[in-house]
């Protein structure tokens, strides 16, 4: 009786193990009919057509998979997504910018942890991505999505004005940047264009200084509440901003100027630098009097290193686009996202000018020399600091912008600005 019981028990254990293994193993080519729901916001005809082409290719290769695409305008997408999230039924794949909203969905259990998929086969999929860009879609060590495009903030500069001031190379350290500001002023040139009337352009200066001074651990400590936004790097960054302001490096009226005014100053060669994202050349050109901008005089360099800072000089501040993965996503849905983010797909997207690639090999689709430089720098970043107004809950983002504007206006001390941000964090980060 006992032997018979052990035999039956052993058979049950083996069967349970086999069934369990079958249930957890990803099986994209199982043959069972599967529907994948995908929401994106790429409404431009060329971009929308390319997404559809890639979906059609995947379905042709996987006849059992039906991909249902929903294309929404940006604001309509946000409204509709909020509704389905409240019902607990997210799409399998949907547009995401990472950061605070992604983190909230992950905390609510609405997203799928795809870390095992990224790490399978020795990290085969993970290793295709620029590490900093992929990190934007992780929260507390787990990935809930992947990027398909990422841009970064950097300094756009006028080579001719630099030469006129006797500067023969872009600065690589903050100390060199300060020297260049002084040299440009001595030559009668406005060193930096800034539209701080919109209050977000100047925030990038402070955020980059915090990143250089404190690095990833500093920001994540404040975000996850093991640290504080009054910690030393946040205050020190405010001091450095105000030291820069004291040199009067900006155009007259910068506190009331808009970002459009900033771009106009650069496009008309009335300022030597602006700290802005990858869209800056197009905006400068469009805002210039002759609609040509400064042409080949335009150059780009990454935000300078800060002596003694804990942050890696290659770390970047910026943002982009990605896919979040809904909690009910099938293995087929994840396999389709792999297809969308393979180098061949990235090349095609780069060729129509809608992305800066985040996957190795995707850069082959770029032909703009400045964008190639920017993409190469972006790929070096081990840590990518998402824009503060996206990395943090929306209510905190506006507080950060207002507090940093107070630094530029001189209405807040560095300590007061840091405290205002921390006060908001205590309300919003629980």
- In the structure encoding, which two tokens stand for residue 25, read together? 């193993």
DSSP 304: P
The single residue listed with the structure tokens 């995908």 is: 38
Residue 352 is classified by DSSP as T
Q: Cβ distance 95 to 40 under 8 Å?
A: yes
Coil/strand/helix, residue 300: strand
Report CA-CA distances (Å) from 314 to 18, 38, 61, 195, 385. Answer: 47, 34, 40, 26, 11
pTM of the model: 0.84
In a structure prediction context, what are the per-residue pLDDT tens digits for the chain, which is 430 residues long?
A: 344 434 443 433 333 333 333 333 344 556 789 999 999 999 999 999 999 999 999 999 999 999 999 999 988 999 999 999 999 999 999 999 998 889 999 999 999 999 999 999 999 999 999 999 999 999 999 999 999 999 999 999 999 999 999 999 999 999 999 999 999 999 999 999 999 999 899 999 999 999 999 999 999 999 999 999 999 999 999 999 999 999 999 999 999 999 999 999 999 999 999 999 999 999 999 999 999 999 999 999 999 999 999 999 999 999 999 999 999 999 999 999 999 999 999 999 999 988 999 999 999 999 999 999 999 999 999 999 999 988 888 789 899 999 999 999 999 999 999 999 999 999 998 7
User: Which of 149, 127, 51, 117 has the alpha carbon at shortest distance from 358?
Assistant: 149
Distance separating the N- and C-terminal Cα atoms of the chain: 58
- Tokens, residue 102: 């992604």
The DSSP 8-state label assigned to residue 126 in this structure reads G
Which helix (H) or strand (E) is 152 found in, with range?
A: strand 145-152
């Amino acid at each position: 009786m006992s032997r018979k019981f052990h035999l039956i028990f052993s058979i049950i254990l083996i069967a349970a193990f086999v069934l369990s293994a079958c249930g957890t193993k990803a099986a994209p080519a199982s043959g069972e009919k599967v529907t994948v729901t995908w929401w994106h916001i790429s409404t431009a005809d060329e971009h929308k057509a390319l997404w559809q082409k890639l979906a059609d290719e995947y379905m042709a290769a996987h006849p059992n998979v039906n991909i249902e695409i929903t294309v929404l305008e940006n604001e309509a997408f946000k409204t509709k997504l909020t509704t389905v999230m409240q019902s607990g039924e997210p799409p399998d794949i949907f547009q995401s910018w990472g950061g605070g909203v992604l983190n909230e969905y992950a905390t609510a259990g609405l997203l799928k942890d795809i870390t095992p998929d990224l790490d399978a086969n020795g990290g085969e999929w993970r290793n295709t991505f620029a590490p900093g860009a992929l990190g934007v879609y992780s929260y507390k060590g787990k990935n809930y999505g992947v990027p398909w495009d990422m841009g970064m903030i950097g300094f756009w500069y006028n080579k001719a004005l630099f030469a006129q001031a006797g500067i023969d190379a872009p600065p690589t350290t903050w100390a060199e940047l300060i020297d260049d500001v002084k040299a440009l002023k001595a030559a009668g040139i406005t060193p930096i264009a800034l539209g701080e009337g919109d209050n977000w352009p100047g925030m990038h200066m402070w955020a980059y200084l915090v990143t250089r001074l404190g690095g990833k651990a500093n920001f994540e400590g404040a975000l996850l509440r093991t640290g504080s936004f009054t910690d030393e790097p946040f205050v020190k960054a405010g001091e450095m901003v105000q030291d820069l302001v004291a040199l009067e490096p900006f155009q007259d009226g910068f506190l009331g100027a808009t970002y459009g005014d900033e771009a106009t100053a650069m496009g008309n060669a009335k300022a030597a630098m602006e700290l802005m994202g990858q869209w800056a050349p197009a905006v400068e050109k469009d805002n210039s009097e002759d609609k040509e901008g400064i042409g080949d005089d335009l150059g780009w360099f990454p935000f300078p290193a800060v002596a003694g800072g804990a942050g890696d000089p290659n770390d970047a501040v910026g943002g982009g686009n990605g896919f979040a993965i809904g909690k009910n996503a099938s293995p087929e849905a994840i396999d389709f996202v792999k297809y969308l983010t393979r180098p061949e797909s990235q090349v095609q997207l780069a060729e129509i000018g809608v992305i800066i690639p985040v996957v190795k090999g995707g850069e082959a689709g770029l032909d703009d020399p400045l964008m190639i430089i920017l993409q190469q720098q972006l790929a070096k970043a081990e840590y990518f600091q998402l824009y503060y107004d996206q990395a943090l809950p929306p209510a905190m983002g506006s507080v950060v912008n207002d507090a940093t504007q107070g630094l530029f206006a001189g209405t807040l001390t560095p300590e007061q600005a840091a405290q205002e941000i921390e006060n908001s964090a205590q309300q919003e980060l629980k």
